[in-house]
Structure 1
Amino acid sequence: MEKTTLKVGTIPVPDSAPLQVAIERGFFKAEGLEVQPEVVAGGAVATQKLLGGSLDISLGAYVGTFLAQDKGAGKFKYVADSYGAAPGAFVIMVKKDSPIKTVADLKGKTIAVNVLKSVSQLTAEVQMKVAGVTATQDQFVEKNFPDMPAALENGQVDAIAGVEPFITVISKAGGRIIVDEMTGPTENLPIAGWFTTDATASKYPKAIAAFQRALGKAQELVAKDRKIVEETLPKYTKIDAATAAVISLGSYPTSLSESRLQRVADLMKEYGYIKNDLDVKSMILPPSAS
């Protein structure tokens, strides 16, 4: 193996659970790998660190990575899937006494998203189009997920595109779900995976293959058993055990599907996020059989 230590960017959200499980259960060690997790603020930071060489692999949302590839920021390869949409895990919410009752009522209203031009914004735009209204860029406001409940409560924004555990927090305060963002054209949409640069993938093929095998074992476990995720979340996120037991989780796909990822790229093209047709097949590094 060309390298036995991999620095891996991770984000303290449910998407990263399989990495944590693989570390704890010694799956990487069994492959002769030491994985050093490093918390990154988000996909944009991860992309810079991958290009700069301070990370080897990172968790990254497909929308953000496809944007970076389309803009020519770098060439990237996804080595494993991590997280997909499931009912209740990505929703648009308003506060208890909001006059907003339907998706159509969101016309011209401010909506908080964690990152502009993210999967949260893209799927909000799709749901608005389904409801017959056109979203405008200026109605989306950037807020970190933990800041969304307060921003909604004090009227800084009219609605939020939220994820867990903040959906549960806002619901407990009487907040209402207007729409599940992952329904209709966005049902089961891929959310995030583990990616690297083309250069790193070419330089360390055996190390990457070992990473894929070890992570794949953990992914299989969490895909079958929610309890494993519930037990793991409090160890690396701010989600406590009681909340972990009740939150809506996404799915943990066990393979990188070209057709599934292509849906993301095609939606991005349709909504003007990327200029060019993106062939995602060139961005997937299938696990090697060896």
Structure 2
Amino acid sequence: MKKLLGTMVAGGLAVALLAGCGSGSVSGALQTSAGVDTDLRKVTVGAIPIAPSAALQLGIDKGLFAKHGIEIEMQSGQGGASMLPAVSTGTMNVAIGNPVSTMLAVSKGLDLKIISGYSHSLATGDDITGVVALKDSGIETVADLEGKKVSVNTIAGQGDITIMEAMAKAGADPSSVEFTEIAFPDAPAQLEKRNADAVWLAQPFLSQALEAGHHLVTYNYQETIPGQPTLVAFASGKWAEENPELVADFKAALAEVSDYAESHQDEIRALLPTFLKMDPELADGLLLESHSGEIDRDSLQKISELMVKYKVVDKPVDLDQVILD
């Protein structure tokens, strides 16, 4: 089927992953909430340079974290997996990353807790991720991915397990797919060079590929677990246990930030040209994920079951050990 890369496990490789996390802003444009109140408690938050992370900047700009007595210091991460050891060792207090990486790390022995929800895919209509193929490839539906090479941004992640499940639901053989790891920004060019038969893309790359005339094969999230969590906030169990009041205040702040971001998506889009150095015209029409601070336990359970089914983990992750209610 596919080789499970050790990019999300504890041990010696965690040191290498830690090197992928750097201090400073996500895009060079982020600012902390410092200077508002000298009594604010600092929380170092890791985020990756994608559109949903802009909600954090919006929360800083609107003073929503400061309202809860918190100063946010942002650190950049190359991906959710790279931030796991940083949080585990205390380099970051909290990180915003995908739930599969977090649950996999817990299964490998890292002491991590999901403390809040953050963003979700869209249950109906157009979605924020999807699989794309060249129009002349002969790949029309997800069943046509049998025997094909498909790129995902991270192997043993949310992309490949949901693509395989969508194939299984369509009566195709998911074990026949060859998954290859290609970063989202690079995937469209690799598709056009025919180095992959199909590519899994997130926004804004999905919209760009469809506008270029490529064919949408499937919204794999909607075909498997519609509206599933795409990003969660996680912290080390040790930090959470030692700072219960700060964790509670951070969760309350992030819930308020999420609610504001969900009802003010145009303000997020307005941040993207500086936040991600995105073309203003593209930012203005960008499809955004849904934001919510609620932890979707039912969807996380289903994701955990897919992780077992497709051999990412040996047994279901105990959500009572992962989620800090």
TM-score of the aligned structures, taking structure 2 as reference length: 0.82
Please name the residue that 1:12 is paired with: 49
**Unaligned segments of structure 2, at least 5 residues:** 1-38
Is 1:51 matched up with 2:51? no
CA distance in 2 between counterparts of 1:285 and 1:22 reads: 22
What are the within-5 Å matches in structure 2 for residues 252-271 of structure 1?
252-271=291-310
The 2-side partners of 1:236 and 1:136 are apart by 39
Kept in 1, the 8 Å contact 2:98–2:232? The answer is yes
Give the Å deviation of 1:224.
2.2
Aligned-residue offset at 1:185: 2.8
Q: By how many angstroms is 1:244 displaced?
A: 2.1
State whether residues 153 and 182 of structure 2, in contact with CA within 8 Å, keep that contact through their aligned partners in structure 1.
yes
- Structure 1 segments unaligned to the other structure (5+ residues): none
Contact 1:266–1:277 at 8 Å: present in 2 too?
A: yes
Q: Distance in 2 between matches of 1:208 and 1:144?
A: 32
Q: Count residues with an aligned counterpart.
A: 284
* 2:118 aligned partner: 82
Partner of 1:203: 242
| 2: CA distance, partners of 1:138 / 1:96 | 19
Letter in 2 for 1:19: L
Structure 1 residue 3, shift from structure 2 partner? 8.4
**2:106–2:322 CA contact under 8 A, matched in 1:** no
TM-score (norm 1): 0.92
Aligned counterpart for 2:166 among listed residues 127, 130, 148: 127
Between the aligned partners of 1:166 and 1:277, the Cα distance in structure 2 is 32
* Contact 1:190–1:264 (Cα < 8 Å) also in 2: no
**How far did 1:18 drift?**
2.4
Residues 1:153 and 2:192 aligned together: yes
Residue deviations 1:32-66 (CA, integer Å, cap 9, x gap): 22111111001121001112211110011001111
Letter in 1 for 2:267: I
Distance 2:163 2:225 in 1: 10
Counterpart CA distance in 2 for 1:224 and 1:191 is: 19
* Deviation per residue, 1:89-126 (Å, 9 max, x gap): 11000123222122121111111100001111111111
- Percentage identity across paired residues of the two chains: 28
Residue 26 of structure 1: how far off its partner (Å): 1.2
The aligned amino acid for 1:245 is D
Q: Distance in 1 between matches of 2:274 and 2:322?
A: 32
Q: CA RMSD in A?
A: 1.8
Q: Which moved more, 1:157-166 or 1:248-257?
A: 248-257
